[in-house]
Structure 1
Amino acid sequence: MSSDADPALGTSSGLGPNPGLDADVVVLGASFAGIEVLYQLQRRASSPPPRVIVVDRERRHGYLPLVQERLLGTIDARSSTLESAAWIDSVEGARFVQGEIVGLDVARGEVTLEGGTTVRGRVIVVALGSVLEPPPALPGAARMIGYKSGAQFEQARAAVQDLLEGDAEERRIVVVGGGISGVELAGELAALRTATPPRFRHAPEVTLIGVEPALVPILGEKVGARAHAILVAQGVDVRTGTRLEATHEGGVSVREHRPGGDESLEIAAGLVMWAGGVRPSPVLTELGLPRTEDGWLAVGPTLQCYPTDPARAGVFACGDAVRIIGGTGRWPTMQRAIECIWQAKVVAKNVLALLAPRSADAPEPPPLHPHRLRK
């Protein structure tokens, strides 16, 4: 590392001292996937564990699987915030480094941070996640509120509070996205009507817009029908087969598919919340790693960024940021937290296999474990 950064950590088992490396493993991202990778490395490693540096721009992270509940006060946002940096620093052989990632030199295993600090490791694990934002080309995209993490989460929480505590004439909240996240958010918003004690001065009317004919299509027809029925029973205005065309002051313009032909409608709203899918984190464009045509990191079943190149075997990626390419093509993904856990286990096994001492006649790299597609 450069002199203004954290000092290099201790010596790893099996590697021996290497003054050119700051750590055996550098993990980029300290949210769900990155933390799970560190946990799995510690759990599976012999003693002493590998030296690990985890890099992130944030020292704390909200618990993502409960983001809707945290947003609306169903659970306290502060008590469900993970002290990521403090936990990492408490782990044997691990160190947290705060900084904005601006570049990666794969050949040197070197990560560059804003301001010029560099961090070098034998193995790099990219766990930089995704961003919950609408496509920029969608008219009025800037008017929609995302709520995933960090400053975006705080802005969304303030916007909801302003709407439901103030005197706005229109208190309808339109949720865009009929997948798992949109259904969860619409349900939590609708539950504000019956919350005891009330969490806000007013409760919103809720409209859920989904472009598919049914809700949560990834979970199957029966689950989608059940989710639809529950939301309607809560008083949610559910509109499937409906495409958002624009967001504007005072509401949204949609196009609704009907048996007799599509119909354009205007829906008044005091707030429009985006739950219609995530996009690749912008930092992925700065790393120079293989990507899919829509911008995600392309990895093989072993979760390596270069699965057929022994010289670059030690570059892995997992979590929201990746799409697995193998067999007949691109694997499906739920983009849920459980996939981060499954993938982190595979990454940890493979990282430890690369770091383990081997005889001179052993294959290089060693055989690695593939991720398994769960249906």
Structure 2
Amino acid sequence: MTRTVVVLGAGLAGLPVAHYLLRRTSAHHEDLRVVLVSPHDTFYWKIASVRFALPDQMDEDKYMFPLADQFAAYAPEKFELVIGAAETLDPEHNSVGVRVGDDLRAIEYHTLVIATGSRYRDDMPWKEVGTTAQTRASLARLRARIRDARSIVVAGAGITGVEFAGELGSRYAKAGLKEVTLIGAEALPLEKRVKDNVRRTARAELDKLNVKFIGGAKVAAQGDVDVKDAKTITLTHPDGTSETLVADLVVPTFGVVPNTAFAPEGMRDEASGCLKQGGDLRAPGYNNSMSLIPRFYSPFMCHVYPSL
């Protein structure tokens, strides 16, 4: 009897999981079949997105890799690639509903690995934006606006914001071609969990690139920050004061949302939207459902297969 492992997501977690199952686990389980489900038909090297989001910085074949090519070596009876998005999950009947074009396909599984990851609000291309075509379109819009802007505000001074501001500084601000401003909620860039000496170093490096940093400030909710031209935003400070800032372009780098809407409400944490999971990454109450969507970035978790 064939045992089907469905892997939802072909990103930094799902892709190596699928390869591991096909290369290693299947050697001990000849009845194993892997179905990889992904809404986009390419692997997106999102780690470098802060660099290739700039115009003319990197060719597409350096950050988008066709998924079909990555799995061409596997026999059809052992592997299937489904280009579609998970819409429903019925853990009681071991079935996941995947939207493929206009059809909703039901795929039954013996074991389910959820590696759907997360996305940024406002369709920012720091991570995948829906399909491959939608990601390309988002990148094209951002690049065009960066090219035309003379002043750019980067909203959010976490890892993504700092790296993106650094890329803008290296390319434009250091040479006096564009004004670049980074806004962060803390007095120093990066998060509090990062050591202060590292944060101070990041600030110093941004200064060298002629990137202006405004710390201890948050973008007011009414600003509706998204990628827009000639945008005026309001900043609020801890002492209650506020200031306005005008730029040709405002780019948000915050607002990560887990891709878990397809899962039943009882499987999701109400506050974070992440899937509930135990220490072994299994969904509580469902020994054949595993989640590779941790609260913190740690994609390479490949110790979940001995239960097959």
**Smaller-chain TM-score range?**
0.7 to 0.9
Quick check: 1:71–1:156 contact (8 Å CA) kept in 2? no
TM-score, reference length from structure 1? 0.70
Q: Which runs of 5+ in 1 are unaligned?
A: 1-16, 134-141, 324-332, 356-375
Find the partner of 2:291 among 317, 321, 346. 317
Does residue 83 of structure 1 match 2:66? yes
1:233 and 2:208 aligned: yes
Provide Cα deviations, 1:226-272, integer angstroms capped at 9, x if missing partner.
00110011011111111011248523111134xxx342111111221
Identify the residue that residue 222 of structure 1 maps to in structure 2: 197
Distance 1:277 1:102 in 2: 22
Q: How big is each residue's C-alpha offset from its partner over 1:92-135, in whole Å with a ceiling of 9 and x where there is no partner? A: 522201122211111222111221311111000111111111xx
Q: 1:31 corresponds to which residue?
A: 11
Task: Give the structure 1 partner of residue 44 of structure 2.
Answer: 62
Q: Measured at CA, do residues 184 and 91 of structure 1 come closer, stay the same or move farther in structure 2, by a change above 3 Å?
A: farther
More strand per residue: 1 or 2? 2
- Alpha carbons of structure 1 residues 42 and 222: separation in structure 2 relative to 1, 3 Å: farther
Q: What amino acid sits opposite 1:340 in the alignment? A: P
CA RMSD of aligned residues (A): 2.5
Q: Name 1:354's counterpart in structure 2.
A: 307
1:176 aligns with 2:145: no
Verify the 8 A CA contact 2:146 2:249 in the aligned structure 1. no
Q: Distance in 2 between matches of 1:146 and 1:24?
A: 32
Aligned in 2, Cα 1:126/1:186: closer, same or farther, shift over 3 Å?
same
- Aligned-partner Cα distance in 1 for 2:161–2:134: 17
Q: How does 1:96-245 map to 2 (within 5 A)?
A: 96-114=81-99, 115-133=103-121, 145=124, 147-149=126-128, 150=132, 153-166=135-148, 171-193=150-172, 203-217=177-191, 218-245=193-220
> How far apart, CA to CA, are the structure 2 residues paired with 1:53 and 1:75?
32
Superposition TM-score, scaled by structure 2 size:
0.84
For the structure 1 residues 101 and 267, does the alpha-carbon distance in structure 2 shift closer, same or farther, using more than 3 Å as the test?
same
Counterpart check, 1:291 vs 2:265: no
C-alpha change, 1:145 and 1:172, in structure 2 (3 Å) is farther
Offset at residue 87 of structure 1 (A): 1.3
SS at match of 2:58: coil
**Greater Cα radius of gyration, structure 1 or 2:** 1
Tell me if structure 2 keeps the 8 A contact 1:291–1:298: yes
CA deviation profile, 1:272-309 (whole Å, cap 9, x unmatched): 1111241122xx22221522222111111101012xx3
| Contact persistence 1:147–1:156 (CA under 8 A) | no
Give CA deviations for 1:123-151 in whole Å, capped at 9, x if unaligned: 00111111111xxxxxxxx6x95542245
1:75 Cα shift? 2.6
What is the percentage of aligned positions where both structures have the same residue? 25
**Do 2:53 and 2:143's aligned partners in 1 also have CA atoms closer than 8 Å?**
no
Partners of 2:45 and 2:177 in 1: CA distance: 25
Q: Structure 1 residues 120, 212: closer, same or farther in 2, change over 3 A? A: same
Deviates more, 1:86-95 or 1:230-239: 86-95
Given that 1:208 and 1:237 are in contact with CA atoms closer than 8 Å, whether structure 2 keeps it comes out as yes
Using the alignment, how far apart are the partners of 2:25 and 2:143 within structure 1?
46
Whole-angstrom distance in 2 between the partners of 1:194 and 1:175: 13
**For the Cα contact (< 8 Å) 2:89–2:96, is it kept in 1?**
yes
**Structure 1 residue 222 displacement after superposition:** 0.9
Distance in 1 (CA, whole Å) between partners of 2:142 and 2:252 is 13
Deviation, structure 1 residue 203: 3.8
Q: Return closer, same or farther for 1:173/1:242 CA change in 2, 3 Å cut-off.
A: same
Provide the rounded CA distance (Å) in 2 between the counterparts of 1:83 and 1:189.
29
